[in-house]
Each structure stands twice: as C-alpha cells, then as structure tokens.
C-alpha cells in the first residue's frame, strides 16, 4: 500500500530519506552534504515523500524563494515504481499544500534530457518561461505554474 507524508522542516531524518531515494533516482545523485546545504534554513521548506512497504519510493522537495514563489528543487520516483502515476500524485499534493500555504506560483528547472519530467510539467499546467545553457549540464529549461 502506498502512503504519503508531508514534511515542513528539513530535519536530519528527512534529509537522509531525500539522499537515499535520490541515489536510486538520479544518475549523478547529490552528496548528503549538498542536500543539507541546499535545504537547511530555508523558509517554507516542503517535502512530500511516498512510501511502499515501509520504504521510500518517491519524493518532491522544495522551498520558498520569496514573493509568493516556491521553488520545486528536486524530486523523483524509484525506477521500480515509475509509470504508475506517482510523480503526478506527488506534484498534485505539493500544489495543494502550496496553495494552502498562500503561494501563488511554483517554479522548477529541468534539463532537456529529462523528457518525461518536461512532459509531466507541461501536462500539469506549467509553462516554459526561459531556457539557457549551463556549463556541464547543457540546456536548462525553467518552468512556472500559477497556483
């Protein structure tokens, strides 16, 4: 059975779970210290985690970047759990929570090579607002959605 939990602070156990799942999701995962540095002390931190059989299988994490804008920084679903709608479910929960917290816009950035993420974002109401080339990462795509 799938369970979701919402976290509003970046405690060590939450950071450890983010580190654990992103290591299974990404080809080049972030080091634990980098995750800690990125999320610690942020205003309006929000992380939604999905669990199956007691283990984390998906997540969506971000924080406020000011003026009613939330930055959805990192997220993904375990390869064994993909194509089941879990990414969309995590995004919907995130957006519901953000509306309840008074945010008016959500922003995210992705790379051209993550086609499934681009498609999910566009189908979920995001618009491409900018593109740029980042050295070592290639084409970056900035997307925003009005909540």
Structural domains of the chain, count: 1
The conformation of residue 67, written as its DSSP 8-state character, comes to: T
Q: What is the mean pLDDT of residues 24-30?
A: 88
Is the pLDDT score of 59 beyond 90?
yes
Using one digit for the tens of pLDDT, what is the confidence trace for 88-97? 999 999 999 9
What pLDDT sits at residue 113?
84
Is the pLDDT score of 143 beyond 80?
yes
Provide the CATH number for the domain around residue 45. Answer: 3.40.630.30
Among candidates 98, 75, 69, which has minimal Cα distance to 88?
75
Is the pLDDT score of 106 beyond 80?
yes
Q: Is residue 141 part of a domain?
A: no
Domain carrying residue 50? 2-103
Q: Is residue 116 part of a domain?
A: no
Q: Is residue 88 part of a domain?
A: yes
Is the pLDDT score of 10 beyond 80?
yes
pLDDT band at 85 (very low <50, low <70, confident <90, very high): confident
Is the pLDDT score of 1 beyond 80?
no
Residues 6+ apart with CB under 8 A from 25: 76, 77, 78, 79
Q: What is the mean pLDDT of residues 111-132?
A: 93
Distance (Å, whole) CA 77 – CA 57: 6
Q: What is the mean pLDDT of residues 78-92?
A: 89
Among candidates 96, 87, 80, which has minimal Cα distance to 121?
87
Q: Is residue 127 part of a domain?
A: no
Is the pLDDT score of 64 beyond 80?
yes
Whole-prediction pTM value?
A: 0.92
């Amino acid at each position: 059975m799938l369970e979701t939990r919402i976290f509003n602070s970046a405690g060590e156990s939450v950071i450890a779970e983010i580190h654990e799942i992103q290591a299974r999701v990404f080809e080049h995962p972030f080091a634990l210290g980098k995750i800690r540095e990125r999320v610690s002390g942020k205003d309006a931190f929000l992380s939604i985690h999905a669990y199956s059989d007691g283990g984390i299988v998906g997540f969506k994490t971000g924080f406020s970047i000011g003026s009613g804008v939330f930055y959805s920084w990192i997220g993904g679903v375990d390869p064994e759990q993909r194509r089941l709608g879990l990414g969309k479910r995590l995004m919907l929960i995130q957006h519901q929570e953000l509306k309840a917290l008074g945010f008016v816009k959500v922003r995210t950035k992705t790379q051209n090579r993550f086609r499934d993420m681009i498609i999910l974002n566009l189908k979920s109401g995001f618009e491409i607002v900018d593109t740029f080339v980042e050295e070592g990462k290639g084409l970056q795509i900035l997307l925003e959605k009005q909540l």
